Structure 1
């Protein structure tokens, strides 16, 4: 029997889109009664800010911190604990295990074991900089997010996630008084795949891992609606974007889920390459006099 708090409780293999990369978009991902209780008890934004100054940007609050905070309600404690557990990892594999093996056939050989036998832990603060996150094969994260856009702005254009990330997911907690437009997640694909992601690598245009919008098209959109889940398997093809959001005093709320394979280090699941001409152009632009040459280097 599936866990009633699981974001995959209403998902099946029939829901999986295979192109341009494996992903699901599930409306009413959780039982409405369960979701309402979670929404009603979503932590105050001040808890998520955790002492940081409020600005027009995003803030996260990881599971390892939230589970030590008595102000986080019991149902949220249970939710965070489950989605950073071996049980959730195994549930994910029941849905995506064969697909992960198809997209990343080197993983089991690299780790010397089956995906099902990977060791699991909750991700600790510091991510790749924390040695504790290398003690297990997979580090799971389930964290609160609030994003302020009191001035209209783009949230983030087309990009890929870090190469050590196995999957990513978002569960939206849009509030009833949120009158903003946008902030949806767009599933994108390269217009010219051979030019953008030849082989097991992606050629990015800007730091950290951004792709020019003109080089992608939107295949599918996960609307920013309460109780909507979007989850995808990470790869060099997993380009996605968050659409611009109009100004509002109401923060964007969601839960972010990830699984990291930090021990892969620089190997990753794929390679990120910054275009040589772009690097040269940026270098010239910082130099006295010859900065004018930068404009003659094509993108």
Structure 2
């Protein structure tokens, strides 16, 4: 890992970058130094490593596949830059950076569950290879993800939704291929149209339940990040037929308990 100098994706982000509409979030272009980003982008894994290496097996259109940080770090065949990047962004040092950046924007229910702070708790990496670790409070991940090429008609991989109710924050760092001339695939931010849905954690909200507010381009070396909350509605824009993968790193942390659902169940919405 020593051949790759790891800088945080938040190194160029500050509190002045936080946008409040429709919920607190940041959009930071060129978050990684050019040479470091290029090293990661040029060695971004292909579908054969993320999905399966069987040319006879059909690749589904516009579907999500992923490699967790634990899988990246355990794979000696992965480039050192990726192993170092995954380690840097799935550890407690990075969690502290996220907490500080979004201070004042964390949901009150989350602060209560965590005794007022995100740091100072036991942490571990979210595991996709083994059973979850013992009793750590916070599980972190920095995983490589793709949406497969769109081989059929134009489609949406996932429309307006809230992330899982145990999530602390969501971060998306895009690795759009320079040759990717596809149309669509933006990140879309929404707000509830007539109050919070009766099924807020459905896989996808019906169109009439939400309204679009912001459309963020799918752009290379751009970071989007936001704390979890009942208003953190987002989705992926329509993708049109393309042979290219939609490439990004998903940086996140979560608890073992569904703190946001528990808050709703207590009637505090």
TM score, norm. by length of structure 1 = 0.78
For the pair shown, which has the larger CA radius of gyration, 1 or 2? 1
Q: Which residue of 1 aligns with 2:254?
A: 260
Which whole-Å deviations, capped at 9, do the CAs of 1:235-293 have from their partners, x for residues lacking one? 1111111001011111111111111111x247646448xxxxxxxxxxxxxxxxxxxxx
CA change 1:126–1:162 in 2 (3 A) is farther
- How many residues align? The count is 255
Distance in 2, matches of 1:107 and 1:158, equals 22
Secondary structure of the 1:156 match is coil
CA change 1:232–1:265 in 2 (3 A) is closer
Q: Which residue of 1 aligns with 2:135?
A: 135
2:153 pairs with 1:147 = no
Verify the 8 A CA contact 1:185 1:224 in the aligned structure 2: yes
Q: Higher relative contact order by CA 8 Å / sep ≥ 6: 1 or 2?
A: 2
Verify the 8 A CA contact 1:174 1:224 in the aligned structure 2: yes
Aligned pairs for 1:24-43 (under 5 A) are 24-43=26-45
Distance in 2, matches of 1:269 and 1:231, equals 23
CA change 1:145–1:187 in 2 (3 A) is same
1:59 corresponds to which of 65, 71, 74: 65
> Greater helix share, 1 or 2?
1
Q: Please list every run of 5 or more consecutive structure 2 residues that lacks an aligned counterpart in the other structure.
A: none
Q: Which residue of 2 aligns with 1:237?
A: 231
Which whole-Å deviations, capped at 9, do the CAs of 1:38-92 have from their partners, x for residues lacking one? 1011122211115585322121111111111112111111100011101000111
Verify the 8 A CA contact 1:62 1:143 in the aligned structure 2: yes
Verify the 8 A CA contact 1:163 1:270 in the aligned structure 2: no
Distance in 1, matches of 2:198 and 2:32, equals 37
CA change 1:50–1:7 in 2 (3 A) is farther
Q: Please list every run of 5 or more consecutive structure 1 residues that lacks an aligned counterpart in the other structure.
A: 273-299
TM score, norm. by length of structure 2 = 0.87
